[in-house]
Amino acid sequence: MEYSGYTEGFSDGYSVDLLHTTVANHTNGGVYCNVPAGAAASGLRIRNSLIVSNGPIGVLFGTGTTATNLFQNNDVFGHSLSNYYACAADAFSISADPRFINRGAGDFRLPIGSPAIDVGTNLGVTVDIVNNVRPTRNGFDMGCYEEANAARVANLSRCARRPTPCCSAR
């Protein structure tokens, strides 16, 4: 199981507050938050995170309150009963296999071509869990690892209009 990234603890009244976190391969479930009736809590805040293949449920919010959840740019995928229970994804979240390098061996880094690359949002986190700079390309990656084999993509359209090549790979 991988449960790493930057967590802000209980800031702003949220019971669970995760960002750039990877929760994967936990057979009993992913992220659970159960707030007792009458408790003062704002619920779950999960941003730029991967919650993948954690048994029956990816994200569960059970509560006796009317707490508010905030989900932003997450990938919740591969759970046997439901990716979300008693809560729902935002419009910018996805449910797609992130294609980890080697999930079975616990290598949860993202390979080139993963749908979790460059689709996060800027939350002020400038390095990943192993000190790779964020972002490495044209956007922030979901999860605790920034894809490290990326080359920043440049706009070469100016060169394509010239009769002779002006740009070359170095």
Chain centre distance of CA 31: 13
What is the pLDDT at residue 14?
73
Domain of 89? 1-170
Domain count of the chain? 1
The Cα 33–Cα 150 span in angstroms is: 35
Residue 54 tokens read as 């954690």
In order along its 170 residues, the chain shows pLDDT tens digits of 344 443 444 456 677 789 999 999 999 889 988 766 666 666 788 999 999 999 999 998 876 655 678 899 999 999 999 999 888 899 999 999 999 999 999 999 999 999 999 999 999 999 999 999 999 988 999 999 999 875 555 554 554 454 544 444 44
List, in sequence order, every beta strand (DSSP E) within the chain: 2-7, 16-24, 31-35, 44-47, 50-52, 57-63, 70-72, 75-77, 82-85
What is the pLDDT at residue 87?
85
What is the pLDDT at residue 167?
46
